Amino acid sequence: MNTIFLSLFLSFFAGEPTDSPVVQNAGFNEALFDAGTIQDLLGRSGCDGIRFYNTLKDGRVEVMAVSISGGADMNGGLFPRKPYVVAKGVKNNEIEVEHVSEGDARDLCEAMHMSENMQYSADFSKSDFQTLFRDANTNAVRVQPRSTADGLSMQVEAVNFDRGQVNDVGQGEMYEMTSTDPCPPICGVRENYVFSPL
């Protein structure tokens, strides 16, 4: 009988799981990438999607994007020499990003791995972004952490960025989607990722 009461007590105070995009141990709340940056990543020859990593620099958690092909980061060859793009926030009413090399990208992921937060990544296909950009008002995407039954993942959302303000474009699967392939810390072949914890 005591076991039943204890179970009811714990169920009551634990509450129902929510689908809130904010996940504390992801280390970030949101990141913004402008449409031009996303289209440049998708425009690489052979690209079939984009992978996002949470990273750490100077004590600040940021989100980094890279083109992927067949499940692997597209970080080889001479062009571009800095294939990874880090969202730096909004400055002077503009979305700011920084292009970084493979080596710097690895260091940023390793710094995140050594922190109190979980370093992980999430993948989205080219068709996912084509869906998000169908609405003519979409000129940026917002990336947020998302908790799923399989672990940490990320959500991408179509937004309109205007003079420093982020505005929702719409709701539903045409405007926001969660990666169904969360990777805490990796899924599949380790060599496909810029950083793989041992």
pLDDT tens digit string along 88-121? Answer: 999 999 999 999 999 999 999 999 999 999 999 9
Quote the pTM value. Answer: 0.86
Q: Is there a contact between 194 and 76 (Cβ–Cβ < 8 Å)? A: no
Task: Give the pLDDT score at 14.
Answer: 41
State both tokens at 149.
């039954």
pLDDT tens digit string along 166-179? Answer: 999 999 999 999 99
Which positions of the chain have pLDDT values less than 50?
A: 1-23
CA–CA separation, 9 and 3 (whole Å): 10
What are the Cα distances from residue 117, in Å, to 61, 105, 187? 9, 17, 18
Task: Give the pLDDT score at 185.
Answer: 62
